[in-house]
């Protein structure tokens, strides 16, 4: 163990003391009238602002939510056992805010910006208030750049643009978080020099974990570290053991941090995992504050709770630097019930949803995306031309396959064209399966989808499709690398590129060995 | 809440009456007396709060107590409040009245906590200093409290002017705690 010398300690103390001046300190106070269940009613604090931070004894902080005629309703961010009736409450004169800046990257913090990863304090460039108003119409422009998730099914059929809000919805254990984490990992390529040469701007990521197990959050952080994704990511953690007010403010804190990047002309992606838990936390503290309950006991402003959060995702106009904040909220449904209160609310707010289904998941289709009811209302404009070209027929083929899927068991009794549709559909479904933590770059996605939709897989047994795809990608990467380079550079699929893909595939089909 | 609104209304009318009759000082002295009487006697407070005792009876009791001690106007006001069945709010009305009077006169009440009893000279100095800062006449009330170790704490409404050693030590503790994180 390292030794600590007393003279060293006193030197440090002296250094600390040198900046310390004794002056009369002026502050506003109030008295706790009532405390319990994470709520305190305070008398006094006459000049306090709504959503201002207040300080209770024992380093417990609170936030003012209700301003009443002769008392103030506060939510406590810490243990309510540490606060007693009659305690003095101090104003901080600071609206609840979060430190923002590049120093936050690579860190795990709580919703008030206090690090919880044991890597020391964060020197913040600036503080942003947690609640900020969303931008207006003039400051925005339509979504036009793609945000590549690295998941072929999503980038092909449900494309997400920078500045979009795309809901990820599904039952428990359907891989919602996996989609989000893969998306974060895939942003690694936007931070490379190669991407900078191609004009792809880096995307900074914020993962907001609300009401999850601490062990799950630790796992996510470990995975991000493992894939070198933490260097451009901040994790905001409000685990299940945190008080409900902290869980309630966590997504707003994440949005504020993302807005810092957006406002500086950069691009940010923020994931709210998940908003059902946040709504439940908000319901808890609303009921404790005696606000009247409505449907499913949620307070009347639960729609506004989510709409004001998701409205902050935006693509700025070029005058304002053209930054963007993309939001991927996650909602957990119960037994596939999308018509419950919170899911319908969030579906109506977002620009589309990715619907994950447990029976698909159990059937081995992973990511378990139900392509039929998943949509993206604005992302199509953001797709690169090459992808748009190949993905158009992919959607159609899969739709036809789904229509006829029920007949698949009749096998050879069916007519030729139906059989062809079924066999093609089965191969496409197989093609779109993808492992976790293995994002695919867009040029490879384009080639895969091209092969699938142009019947190059017809002669391959379904079980071999994944292996065929992997091997042909390697083959092209080695022998016909200019295909990838062209797609990356031109972002479109020129006739020469198509003919090269054709040539390469035909060449590879002759050498590919089918498994027995 | 409804109660504070009611008390404010009664208090405002009493202020108006006082200004009209030019008897603000006398009235406020009376009200202070009534206030301290109610606070000192639990029984009297119970009588006022009790809905069982008849209005007439309450009026007689109050008249008996305060007759010859306070002016006729004050007594009339109290009777009026009782007539309107608001006697349970009497203390909050008086509090509000005194508060409004202070505002009217540009006066503030300052509660000063000191670790030891100040000398008159110190008190005078503190008063002058506070009046200069607040730009208002200050009425100081001194309380000895040894837990603040040294210095003083002046409380004006909700605002605290803290020059106590205890607070300084607390700030120092926080400074060190904050600093220690950076050393890691």
User: Across the interface, which of A26, A30, A47 has its CB nearest the CB of B161?
Assistant: A26
pLDDT at B27 exceeding the cut of 70: yes
Asked if B184 is an interface residue toward chain A (Cβ–Cβ < 8 A), one would say yes
Backbone angles phi, psi at A440, to 5 degrees: -110, 130
Interface residue A2 vs chain B (CB under 8 A): no
- Poorest-confidence range of A27-41, B123-137, B168-182? B168-182
Sort out which chain A residues have CB atoms less than 8 A from B163's CB and list them: 23-25
Alpha helices for A264-315 (secondary structure H): 275-288, 302-310
Reported pTM: 0.85
**B97: nearest Cα among B2, B156, B18, B155:** B18
Distance between A21 CA and the closest CA of chain B, angstroms: 9
B163 contact A CB<8A: yes
Which chain B residues touch A69 with a CB distance below 8 Å?
A: 1, 4-5
Give the pLDDT score at B176. 77
Note whether B90 and B78 are within 8 A (CB): yes
**What values do phi and psi take at A118, rounded to 5?**
70, 25
Higher model confidence: residue A142 or residue B158? A142
Residues of A in contact with B155 (CB under 8 A): 29
pLDDT tops 70 at residue B1: no
Q: Which residues in chain B are closer than 8 Å to A93, comparing Cβ atoms?
A: none
pLDDT of residue B183: 40
Helix (H, G, I), strand (E, B) or coil at A394: helix
> How high is the pLDDT of residue A125?
81
Which of B89, B110, B158 would best serve as a mutation to test chain A binding (most A beta carbons within 10 A)?
Answer: B158
| Closest alpha carbon to A155 in A472, A474, A376, A468 | A376
Which pLDDT tens digit goes with each residue over B34-56?
999 988 988 888 988 888 989 89
| Residue of B4, B172, B179 with shortest CB distance to A70 | B4
> Does the beta carbon of B178 lie under 8 angstroms from any beta carbon of chain A?
yes
Sign, Cα dihedral of A47, A53, A55, A60 = positive
In the prediction, which pLDDT does A263 show?
95
pLDDT value of residue B181: 44
| Exposed/middle/buried for residue A401 (C-beta within 10 Å: 0-12, 13-18, 19+) | buried
Sign of the torsion angle spanned by Cα atoms A208, A213, A216, A221: positive
- Tell me whether B54 touches chain A (CB under 8 Å): no
Distance CA(B83)–CA(B79), nearest Å, equals 6
- Residue indicated by tokens 């158009």: A392
Q: How far apart are CA A257 and CA A272, in angstroms?
A: 13
Burial readout B81-102 (b: 16 or more C-beta within 10 A, e: otherwise): bbeeebbebbbbbbebbbebbb
- A299 with A292: CB under 8 angstroms? yes
Please, are residues A43 and A27 in contact by the beta-carbon 8 Å criterion?
no
Contact A69 B4 (CB under 8 A): yes
By the CB < 8 Å criterion, does A30 face chain B? yes
Q: Are A394 and A450 in contact (CB under 8 A)?
A: no
Q: Are strands A52-55 and A324-332 parallel, antiparallel or unpaired?
A: unpaired
Q: For A292, phi and psi rounded to 5 degrees?
A: -65, 135
> Rg of chain A over CA atoms, in angstroms?
27
β A61-67/A375-376 pair status: unpaired
b (16+ CB within 10 A) / e for B135-167: ebebebebeebeebeebbbbbbbbbbbbbbebb
Interface test with B, best of A26, A68, A90 (most B CBs within 10 A): A26
- The DSSP code sequence of A63-92 is EEEEE-SS-EEEEESS-GGG--TT-EEEEE
SS (H, E, C) A17-38: HHCCCCCCEEEEEEEEEEEECC
Asked if residue A367 lies in contact with residue A356, where contact means CB atoms within 8 angstroms, the answer is: yes
Distance CA A199, CA A51 (A): 41
Which of B160, B168, B174 is the best substitution to test chain A (most A C-beta atoms within 10 A)? B160
Residues of chain A with pLDDT under 50: none
Active-site residues of A: which are they? Answer: 377
Query: Could you count the other beta carbons within 10 Å of the beta carbon of residue A414?
Result: 15
Q: What residues contact residue A456 under an 8 Å CB cut-off, 6+ apart?
A: A505, A509
Using CA atoms, how far residue A328 sits from A175, A211, A270, A274, A344, in Å, is 14, 17, 6, 10, 16
Please choose, from the candidates A41, A139, A19, the residue with its C-alpha nearest in 3D space to the C-alpha of residue A86: A41
The pair of structure tokens assigned to B76 is 């009339």
How many Cα neighbours within 13 Å face the side chain of A161?
24
Residue A47 forms contact with B (CB below 8 Å)? yes
Q: How many CB pairs under 8 A join A and B?
A: 53
Per-residue pLDDT at B171: 83
CB contacts under 8 A, B 3-42 vs A, are 4-5
Supply A289's token pair: 């504050």
pLDDT band at B184 (very low <50, low <70, confident <90, very high): very low
Q: Is the pLDDT of residue B182 over 60?
A: no
Best CA proximity match to A288, nearest among A76, A6, A18 = A76
Strand partners, A271: A207, A328
Structure tokens at A372: 């039929």
**Nearest-CA distance from A44 to chain B in Å?**
6
B4 with A22: Cβ contact below 8 A = no
Joined tokens for residue A183: 């998306």
Hey, is A129 helix, strand or coil? strand
């Amino acid at each position: 163990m390292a030794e600590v010398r007393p003279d060293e300690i006193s030197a440090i103390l002296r250094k600390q003391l040198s900046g310390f001046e004794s002056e009369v300190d002026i502050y506003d106070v109030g008295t706790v009238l009532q405390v319990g269940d994470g709520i305190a009613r305070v008398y006094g604090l006459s000049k306090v602002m709504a959503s201002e931070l207040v300080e209770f004894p024992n380093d417990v902080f609170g936030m003012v939510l209700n301003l009443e005629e002769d008392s103030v309703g506060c939510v406590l961010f810490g243990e309510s056992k540490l606060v007693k009736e009659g305690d003095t409450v101090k104003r901080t004169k600071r609206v609840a805010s979060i430190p923002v800046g590049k120093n936050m990257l690579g860190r795990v913090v709580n919703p008030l910006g206090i690090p919880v990863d044991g890597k020391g304090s964060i020197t913040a460039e600036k503080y942003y208030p947690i609640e900020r108003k969303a931008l207006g119409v003039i400051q925005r422009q339509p979504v036009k750049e793609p945000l590549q998730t690295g998941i072929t099914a999503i980038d092909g059929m449900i494309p997400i643009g920078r500045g979009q809000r795309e809901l990820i919805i599904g039952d428990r254990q359907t891989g919602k978080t996996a989609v989000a984490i893969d998306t974060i990992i895939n942003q690694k390529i936007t931070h490379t020099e190669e991407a900078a040469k191609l004009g792809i701007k880096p995307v900074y990521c914020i993962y907001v974990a609300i009401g999850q197990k601490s062990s799950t959050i630790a796992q996510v952080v470990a995975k991000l570290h493992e894939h070198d994704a933490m260097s451009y990511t901040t994790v905001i953690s409000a685990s299940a053991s945190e008080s409900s007010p902290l869980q309630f403010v966590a997504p707003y804190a994440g949005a504020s941090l993302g807005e810092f990047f957006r406002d500086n002309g950069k691009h940010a992606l923020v994931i709210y995992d998940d908003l059902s838990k946040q709504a439940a936390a908000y319901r808890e503290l609303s009921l404790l504050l005696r606000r009247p309950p409505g449907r499913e006991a949620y307070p009347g402003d639960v729609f506004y709770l989510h709409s004001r959060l998701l409205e902050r995702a935006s693509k700025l106009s070029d005058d304002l630097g053209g930054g963007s904040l993309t939001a991927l909220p996650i909602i957990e449904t119960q037994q596939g019930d999308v018509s419950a209160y919170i899911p319908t609310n969030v579906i109506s707010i977002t620009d589309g949803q990715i619907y994950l289904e447990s029976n698909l998941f159990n059937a081995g289709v992973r990511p378990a995306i139900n392509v039929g009811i998943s949509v993206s209302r604005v992302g199509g404009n953001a797709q690169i031309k090459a992808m748009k070209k190949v993905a158009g027929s992919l959607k159609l083929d899969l739709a036809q396959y789904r229509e006829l899927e029920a007949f698949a068991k009749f096998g050879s009794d069916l007519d030729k064209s139906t059989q062809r549709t079924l066999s093609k559909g089965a191969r496409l479904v197989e093609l779109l399966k993808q492992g976790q933590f293995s994002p695919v770059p867009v040029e490879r996605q384009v080639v895969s989808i091209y092969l699938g939709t142009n019947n190059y897989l017809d002669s391959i047994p379904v079980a071999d499709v994944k292996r065929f795809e992997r091997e042909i990608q390697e083959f092209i990467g080695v022998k016909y690398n200019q295909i990838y380079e062209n797609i990356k550079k031109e972002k479109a699929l020129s006739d020469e590129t198509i003919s090269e893909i054709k040539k390469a595939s035909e060449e590879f089909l002759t050498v590919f060995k089918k498994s027995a | 809440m409804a109660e504070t609104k009611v008390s404010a209304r009664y208090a405002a009318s009493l202020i108006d009456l006082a200004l009209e009759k030019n008897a603000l000082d006398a009235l406020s002295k009376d009200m202070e007396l009534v206030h301290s009487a109610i606070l000192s006697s639990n029984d009297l407070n119970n009588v006022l709060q009790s809905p069982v005792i008849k209005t007439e009876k309450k009026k007689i009791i109050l008249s008996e107590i305060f007759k010859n001690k306070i002016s006729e106007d004050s007594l009339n006001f109290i009777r009026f409040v009782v007539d309107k069945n608001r006697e349970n709010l009497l203390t909050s009305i008086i509090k509000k009245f005194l508060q409004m009077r202070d505002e009217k006169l540009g006066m503030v009440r300052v509660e000063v906590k000191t670790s030891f009893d100040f000398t008159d000279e110190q008190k005078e100095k503190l008063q002058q200093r506070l009046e200069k800062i607040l730009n208002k006449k200050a009425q100081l009330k001194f309380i000895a409290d040894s837990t603040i170790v040294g210095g003083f704490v002046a409380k004006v409404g909700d605002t605290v002017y803290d020059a106590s050693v205890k607070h300084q030590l607390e700030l120092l503790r926080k400074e060190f705690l904050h600093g220690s994180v950076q050393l890691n």
